[in-house]
Amino acid sequence: MPKQTLNDIDVKGKRVLVRVDFNVPMTGGSISDGNRIRAALPTIQHLRNQGAKVILCSHFGRPNGAVDEGTRLALIAKRLEQVLGDPVAYAQECIGPVAVAAVEALSPGDVLLLENVRFHPGEEKNDSAFAKELANLADVYVNDAFGTAHRVHASTVGVASFLPAVSGFLMQRELEMLGGVLTNPRKPLAAVMGGAKVSDKIAVLENLLGKVDKLVIGGGMAATFIKAMGASVGDSLLEEERVEFAQEVITRCMHWTVDLVLPQDVVVASEFSADSPTQVVDAMEIPDGWRIMDIGPEATSTFISELEDCKTILWNGPMGVFEFPAFSQGTRALGQALASMEDAVTIVGGGSTAEAVAELGLADKMTHVSTGGGASLEFFEGKELPGVAALMDK
């Protein structure tokens, strides 16, 4: 059922509590990637333009229900102020007298960022009393945090039972773009799956197999499929308990005329390190003592050529150990190829894939890069996300 959005509700003069996802990466005490902050701007600016009092709440890090000075949102408030170009008020509490006073001081168009909601144990427990205190600060609730929509927390689910609840523009776009892959994709549809483990993608593969025209397997998880084909994988990370599942996938692809594309060659290393000796070998002939670290040049070329005639491409999981430059070539080449496919809808799953695309400077050349790692996986598994289910239906 489609959910109501900001366009379906009057917010003029109202206090609007917006759940955003400002759980940004930090390096050396500073924000290393502000994409999640920038992603919230369309919703924030719309509310300001409509004369709403904008109250933002978010989690940050894992303070485990207690005040943690290292995970306060002061730095995030400053960064938001910079990208917004206007003052942002910051309250060092998210409920209680400090928060109430900060909200009461707002004028229409003002923006306030509340303190880390995970400082309270009631947040992750979806405690109704904590949710009600948050709700009492506002007249309307907007969920714009797709990255936490799979969590049953007070600020993602509980608050929606006390206030009119709609999706923000980021949430709306995520649901439209990811939902389009499952319900009405332009064909042919390809899914490119990578990352380390098959187990992380089992439910996604189960749900997508009947929908895709091509299934491309790279990354460390390719080892399990290579083993399922009867070959040795050397010292590669192998999920022995998933080999039978990989065999089932191979069989189903044959029966359902899904083109299954596995790497013909791989880059292997003698140990898991950035400067380990490497060689390119046939994927079916990985020597003992060596492990898969990236797809090989022949596989990279084949993957790209197989995708060139596709109209919708879903990519989830890097092709190798992207954080090591020597093993980033497959991911880099694939990302550049997808970015150049102007006639295709290219959807990038969140998490490490989104990080890789951002690092390559290709995010704005993709049709959509999801802001949710775990949330996008659960969405593609076909699960209903609790934070979405809690919103008002159209």
Residues with a catalytic annotation lie at 36, 197, 351, 374
Q: Are 370 and 133 in contact (CB under 8 A)?
A: no
Q: How does DSSP assign 351-382, residue by residue?
A: THHHHHHHHTT-GGGSSEE-S-HHHHHHHHTT
Q: Are 365 and 136 in contact (CB under 8 A)?
A: no
Task: State how far the Cα of 148 lies from the Cα of 172, in Å rounded to an integer.
Answer: 14
Q: Are 201 and 373 in contact (CB under 8 A)?
A: no
Q: How does DSSP assign 94-113, residue by residue?
A: SSSHHHHHHHHT--TT-EEE
Q: Are 260 and 253 in contact (CB under 8 A)?
A: yes
Please name which of 304, 226, 228, 308 lies closest in space to residue 266, comparing C-alpha atoms. Answer: 226
* Dihedral sign for Cα atoms in the order 62, 65, 69, 72: positive
Task: State how far the Cα of 103 lies from the Cα of 235, in Å rounded to an integer.
Answer: 57
Q: Are 73 and 26 in contact (CB under 8 A)?
A: no
Please name which of 301, 207, 312 lies closest in space to residue 261, comparing C-alpha atoms. Answer: 301
Q: What value does the CA radius of gyration of the chain take, rounded to a whole number of Å?
A: 23
Q: How far is CA 228 from CA 141, 214, 231, 249, 282, in A?
A: 49, 19, 7, 10, 16
Cβ-proximal residues to 68 (8 Å cutoff; 6+ apart), any chain: 61, 116, 119
Classify burial at 210, counting beta carbons within 10 Å of its beta carbon; exposed 0-12, middle 13-18, buried 19 or more: exposed
Q: Are 99 and 116 in contact (CB under 8 A)?
A: no
